[in-house]
Amino acid sequence: MATIKVRLLVIVLLTLLPLCSVQSHQKQSVDDEFGPVVRAYLGYLRDEQEVVDDRVSRREISPTYYRRNSNRIKALRQMAIRLARESHNDYLPELEAVAPTEFGLLFEHPPVAANLKVGEVIANKFRYLGSVRSVEVFYCFARLDPYEQSELDQKSSKTAAVPDPGQVKAGTRSRRIGPQR
């Protein structure tokens, strides 16, 4: 009887081992598709998910908070993979994923979600990348690097400083040229 149980246990283990190796192989092949920077970011997101899982298991966070953050991590992962595949580049900008109710966390004057256009720069700080549905909809933004931000600030200050030639400034008058004395 004991040998039958041992044999049955061995058979079960042998049937489960290939399944475990297939899953780890699939994860490995997805990671192999990308360079070290993208792989590191995907690893960071896996670590973040583990932290959230741990905190919910200890009842440190509410189930609602857990769901929102798990969905946000999934959305960030989807966007990172999409960007890496589209660009064929081992670079990712700093990504932010927010639900429509969280726009105030990123923007002083939150934009209207329905009016966002992919590639649009908002507040000279973020570029809108698109939305991702991960149970709920998250809007993904890339934080502009400091060089892009200063370039946009300079362009906007130059356009504000250059007066329109057809417009006369208030408070000034043309110089009167008269006979010299």
DSSP 49-81: HHHHHHHHHTT-S-HHHHHHHHHHHHHHHHHHH
What is residue 167's DSSP assignment? S
User: Could you tell me which residue, 166 or 32, shows the higher pLDDT?
Assistant: 32
147-154 LR contacts (CB < 8 Å, sep 24+) = 149/124, 149/125, 152/121, 152/124, 153/124
As a whole number of angstroms, the distance between CA 6 and CA 73 comes to 42
Q: Could you report the per-residue pLDDT of 8-56, keeping only the tens digit for each?
A: 444 544 455 455 444 544 455 566 889 999 999 999 999 999 999 999 9
- In this structure, the number of other CB atoms found within 10 A of the CB of residue 122 comes to 17
φ, ψ dihedrals at 50, nearest 5°? -65, -40
As a whole number of angstroms, the distance between CA 172 and CA 77 comes to 58
User: Could you tell me which residue, 152 or 7, shows the higher pLDDT?
Assistant: 152
Residue in the structure block whose two tokens are 């670079």: 91
DSSP strand E in the chain: where? 94-98, 121-122, 126-134, 136-143
Give this prediction's pTM: 0.69
Contact 105, 113 (CB under 8 A): no
157 pLDDT tier (thresholds 50, 70, 90) = confident
Both structure tokens of 123: 């507040």
Both structure tokens of 33: 């598709």
- Residue 3 confidence (pLDDT) above 90: no
Ordered by start, the domain boundaries in the chain are 23-91, 93-160
Contact 56, 69 (CB under 8 A): no
